[in-house]
Amino acid sequence: MIDAIPCHEARRLLESGGQLIDVRGPGEYAAGALRGAQNMPVEAFPSHVHRLDPARPVLLYCKSGARSGAAKGFLQQLGFRAVYNIGAYQAWRECAETG
């Protein structure tokens, strides 16, 4: 499920220490990513989780929202509370560019 949070809310979360995570593959990430996003491909997500701070919000995105949804579920199983699947890269690109 994609968390429908408005652009200004996503920006507020990021400005207050949120972590922006791109779960697409390295090639997709290299072709274009949201400013400030870390690449943690969903295929290797469990090996990257140690890089995340569970006390800070996590905003996840991918191409459509499916992979970021899977990553969200995984983080919630680990006890992460403030996790958002913001969905598709293309949908959030304009938000990131105006921020």
| Tokens coding 56 | 């800070």
DSSP-based three-state secondary structure for 63: coil
| 62 assigned to active site | yes
Catalytic residue among 62, 75, 86, 96: 62
Backbone dihedral region for residue 79 (phi beyond 0: left; psi -120 to 50: alpha; all else: beta): left
Greatest Cα pair distance in the chain: 33
Cβ 77 vs Cβ 45: under 8 Å: no
Active-site positions read: 62
